[in-house]
Each structure stands twice: as C-alpha cells, then as structure tokens.
C-alpha cells in the first residue's frame, strides 16, 4: 500500500511532514457532532499555536479516504471523522495580520 499517509491522496502533503496528527472524531448520533468537532478543532489549533507549534485544519467530512484511515488507526465504525490536525514546528513565523477597524467588520441592521 505504500506509506500510511498515501491513503490521504491530496491531503497527505501537510500531514506526511509532521510527527503527529490529531484525528477528531465524533458520534453521529449526536446531532451537533460536526459543530462540536469543529469547535474542538478550533480550540486545539489555538492551543497548538500558543505552545509555539504550527498546524492546519484538514477537513475530513465524508472524504474518500475515510474508510481506509478509520481502518488504519482502528477508529470504531460507529464514529465519523471531522478533522485532521497535523502538528509540527513552523519553518518560519507568519506575521500577525493588521487588526481591522471595528467599523470595517460590523454592520448595523443592514449589510
């Protein structure tokens, strides 16, 4: 089959370079499984950044590679994949974007 990350197809690039990847899963019986999983993923990304590491969000909702990935790491069949979060060290620091003025992002009673 080749390297395990080969099953990820086009999503393998950010994942194959890192030493760790968090797989966010949930039970689809919970009607907010994707909302909850997304909130958890965002919190992980913030925590990862605060610890000096880098990461990105790889969407895993209904992807072709899900059955193979679930089998590879023994995810129970009753769970769904929400996101993949590779964790590593950044090659360079990305500058923080300029903060936008509140008037540029808030619209009152109309857009």
**Are the beta carbons of 58 and 100 closer than 8 angstroms?**
no
pLDDT, position 74:
92
Look at residue 107 in the predicted model and tell me its pLDDT. 87
pLDDT of residue 3: 59
pTM: 0.76
Q: The dihedral of CA 51, 18, 89, 36: what is its sign?
A: negative
- For 10, other C-beta atoms within 10 Å of its C-beta total 8
pLDDT tens column, 60-104: 888 888 888 888 889 999 999 999 999 988 888 778 889 999 988
Which is higher by pLDDT, 3 or 19?
Answer: 19
pLDDT at 1: 40
b/e map of 53-65 (b: 16 or more CB within 10 Å)?
ebbebbebeebeb
Query: Concatenated DSSP letters for 46-73?
Result: HHHHHTT-EE--EE-TT-TTHHHHHHHT
The pLDDT of residue 13 is: 60
């Amino acid at each position: 089959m080749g390297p395990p990350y080969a099953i990820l197809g086009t999503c393998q690039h950010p994942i194959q370079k890192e030493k760790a990847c968090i797989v966010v899963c949930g039970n689809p019986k919970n009607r907010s499984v994707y909302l909850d999983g997304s909130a958890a993923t965002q919190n992980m990304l913030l925590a990862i950044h605060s610890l000096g590491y880098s990461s990105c969000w790889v969407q895993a909702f209904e992807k072709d590679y899900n059955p193979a990935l679930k089998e590879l790491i023994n995810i129970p069949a009753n769970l769904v994949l929400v996101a993949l979060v590779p964790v590593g060290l950044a090659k360079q620091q990305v500058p923080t974007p300029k903060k936008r003025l509140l008037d540029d992002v808030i619209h009152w009673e109309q857009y």
